Structure 1
């Protein structure tokens, strides 16, 4: 028997915990669209956190255990494990997701107390949600634009306009090129690339079965692949999508927070989109948005080595087939819980909504911006 609990952090990422019992053994599995501060450290942190959840859920089964003190103690146990290892997820979201999953398995024992606990939590975050959701102002720069240009000019990535490749090959190229940069075998590179087939690209920490309607993907000829970086699932259609990747030595982001590094890598895209007439802005940790919705999202991965590599890839929607995306992606109600609209398709504001330029013209303008920004 298994059960799933989900928690969407307001303004953050989705965390999912699956609790299962098999042959008298309880297991907990953590996944979601969060990011990793470091791949190896984060994998170890997730494994440790899963072991903590198993022990803590055993304690929750003890007679007379109240939810509120259990939750607080579980958060305290998880905080030193996941606090600096995961970006966009935290101890509170993991503990709550585990609680929700566990409560599904014995609703008669937990329903009344859990309802009160959830109501108090909802009231606590509602004000934060409303303030964040209804503020449409552009997020202020987290890094000085002059510093952004200085870093780009210092690293001067080689610009590559790549040929279309199948989704599986694209994932292999991402891994190979980032590892080559990490070993010092390839210079800093900015790649503008196309897809040869439709795809869903899932983040490193997501459960593909929970994120994608696999039967619909097969019927529609959509390839389902996984990238090495974190973040959420992206629906790709070749003629409707623009994708870029930056492979830079780790020194490129030295001294910056994760949020600052996203702005460092995408500020040229904001400038290029604005040159196309699109009112682009930063939104949240890793999104690019227009006035009324999301244009695209980014993901990052740190690859160890000397000098090491920071892989940053961004996917933008030039246009969108909303019905196809809704049919293939499985977007839970919890994932949309902190959004003003409750449909993933309605959240998207494609580039074509803000410009009369064709996709090819937009790509040409972005390439020109990249060259002016410091790419060679």
Structure 2
């Protein structure tokens, strides 16, 4: 397998109506598989959230990461994704989440760190065009002078690589600390003011509506790499809905690492 470049591929864009947290987990699983099998062209998917969620990494302990009582009190669904990395606190309208489903040939020969940086280059350029000086912080963060902007995670499977990123557009730091145990431990001596400082949302940095930031990101990707509008296919949707109701909603999957 020889290494390919972005422009060697016919990139597709999926940006649809809000979906449930479990369906987002399932779509990542299905679309990565379809790209790996060669049935779908490499794809950029912009997520819209139908409900608040905490998304924990594949290898994280549910009990260590999440205060289940607080999550239930706020009506926050807890889901586990297929990739590693840390817990993400998500509220509709407060985050920008996207996935890239790419053939592994795109990052052939790159180390994990190089692959993360490679997949984040276009976003850094989009942010620069919005007046934000941001950079890649190994292993999986995008940060700025004001603080962390985004966290990424990756998984390789069946000839494809999934790279997904959640960016803070706006954030309720107090609620995040109520729900995420790890954040509470890291910041217990500094309080929620520090939590707000550690994550610097795009809203405060740009003054732009969330939709305008996404529009700039998509336009930058399109200009650099090419991008055609697409949608989730019926067969992909059916399979994702099956997985969302089964695997990704099951106690066995969520509590796999107790």
TMscore range, shorter length:
0.7 to 0.9
Equivalent position of 1:293 in the other structure: 147
Report SS of the residue matched to 1:259. Answer: helix
Hey, what's the Cα distance between the residues in 1 that align with 2:77 and 2:9?
34
Equivalent position of 1:235 in the other structure: 89
Write the deviation string for residues 113-162 of structure 1: whole angstroms up to 9, x where unpaired: xxxxxxxxxxxxxxxxxxxxxxxxxxxxxxxxxxx9x8211224212222
Hey, what's the Cα distance between the residues in 1 that align with 2:147 and 2:136?
11
Hey, what's the Cα distance between the residues in 1 that align with 2:32 and 2:71?
28
Contact 2:146-2:197 at 8 Å conserved across structures: no
Among 183, 195, 200, the alignment partner of 1:349 is: 200
Matched, 1:250 2:101: no
Hey, what's the Cα distance between the residues in 2 that align with 1:290 and 1:352?
13
1:136-285 matches, within 5 Å, as 151-285=5-139
Q: CA deviation at 1:343?
A: 4.5
Q: CA deviation at 1:334?
A: 6.7
Single out whichever of 276-285 and 286-295 deviates more from structure 2: 276-285
Hey, what's the Cα distance between the residues in 1 that align with 2:160 and 2:195?
32
Q: CA deviation at 1:192?
A: 1.1
Unaligned runs of 5+ in 2: 228-258
Hey, what's the Cα distance between the residues in 2 that align with 1:240 and 1:253?
31
Contact 1:326-1:345 at 8 Å conserved across structures: no
Hey, what's the Cα distance between the residues in 2 that align with 1:311 and 1:268?
16
Equivalent position of 2:213 in the other structure: 362
Equivalent position of 2:169 in the other structure: 318
Report SS of the residue matched to 2:200. Answer: coil
1:44-63 matches, within 5 Å, as none
Hey, what's the Cα distance between the residues in 2 that align with 1:364 and 1:311?
22
Unaligned runs of 5+ in 1: 1-147
Q: CA deviation at 1:353?
A: 2.2
Hey, what's the Cα distance between the residues in 1 that align with 2:200 and 2:210?
15
TM-score by length of 2: 0.81
